[in-house]
Amino acid sequence: MSKIYCSVVIPVYNEEDNLRPLFERLSKTMDEVGRPWEVIFTNDGSVDNSGKILAEFYQARPKQVRVIDFNGNYGQHMAIMAAFERVRGEVIVTLDADLQNPPEEVPKLLALFDQGYDAIGGHRKDRQDSQGRKYASKLINFVREWTTDIKMTDQGCMLRAYSRKVIDAISRSGERSTFIPALAYKYASKPGEVEVEHAERAAGESKYSYYKLIRLNFDLITGFTLVPLQLFTLLAMACTGGTLALIGILFFRRFIYPGASEAEGVFTLFAILFFLVSVCMVGIGLIGEYVGRTYQCVQQRPRYVLREIMEDLSEG
């Protein structure tokens, strides 16, 4: 049998209404590309009919379809990681299951791969998401640009393609809470970008609450830089300087220029104190983020547990 050219990886969490049109459009596009391909769906603990529908796809095209069934919900990035560990293609494409990334755009990414790019990011021409999400993305984009050396136009777009080498490096990393496009960027030798279409979610609702989005973006920042911690050290140094100056002023007013009201400075001091206490709380939270992640790593629990895996790897 000829070697697989492209593996498409799709995480699925309660997407029963999107799966059929997705599979139909994807199969059509990939058949037209005309080179051997496979698709790996990870069922990330769906509680609707997604699992059943995926099993149907496998029955219909066992040579093209592989299904990884998690025993629970581990999140989009872990679902993608599990598939990465099993891909056979030379080029690996990730795609969302909700049809926001049109499968018809995949050949655009493949064209760039054929030109020698090894991590190709889609960036959404006309992003169809709420205004709030777009502003949040802008903010996190700014923080990432500023604290890490990862350059990406549209980190949130999951329509991306990677070479096998990059994917193998990601699998070897064995990370837990991570942000795949950023990790891939670090391992790539020739990253590229291409503009892709973006549609509104076809059915169902977004699986990301604002809370989950904040968690994901913490993964992005804490996973790739220690700058936030270092900023606190700098801030502590600045505060020490400020405090010394304040002591100087108070000393001057107490002994050299006595007579001013003793009470007037108290509220200023309170304001400064409250400010510093809140800064300390942010700092403790931040240290907690890093320590918590370290803790999860040293526990060495399996990153995910499979219920079942449907695949037919026989040749022919």
**What residues line the site for ligand UDP (CB under 6 A)?**
11-13, 15, 44, 73, 75-76, 79, 96-98, 100, 206-208
Q: Least separation, in Å, of the C-beta of 201 and Mg ion?
A: 5
15 binds, among ligand UDP, Mg ion, none (CB under 5 to 8 A by kind): ligand UDP
CA distances from 105 to 9, 118, 137, 161 (A): 15, 17, 22, 11
The beta strand positions in 205-261, using DSSP E, are none
Partner whose binding site includes residue 73, from Mg ion, ligand UDP, none (CB under 5 to 8 Å by kind): ligand UDP
CA distances from 149 to 81, 168, 186, 227 (A): 23, 22, 9, 11
Closest separation between CB of residue 132 and ligand UDP, Å? 12
Reported as type and span, the H/E element at residue 308 is strand 306-310
| Residue whose entry in the numeric block shows the structure tokens 């598939």 | 83
Long-range CB contacts for residues 199-202, cutoff 8 Å, separation at least 24: 199/99, 199/100, 199/101, 199/102, 199/128, 200/100, 200/128, 201/98, 201/99, 201/100, 201/128, 202/17, 202/18, 202/21, 202/98, 202/99, 202/100
- Verify binding: residue 98, Mg ion, rule CB under 5 A: yes
Nearer to ligand UDP, 95 or 118 (CB): 95
Binding-residue total with Mg ion (CB under 5 A): 3
Q: Interface with Mg ion includes 42 (CB under 5 A)?
A: no
- Shorter beta-carbon distance to Mg ion: residue 98 or 105: 98
Nearest CB to Mg ion, comparing residues 100 and 177: 100
In the window 100-139, what residues touch Mg ion (CB under 5 A)?
100
Q: State which residue, 22 or 221, has the beta carbon closest to ligand UDP.
A: 22
Q: Which is nearer to Mg ion, 10 or 188 (CB)?
A: 10
User: Which residues in this chain contact Mg ion in the complex, by CB under 5 A?
Assistant: 96, 98, 100
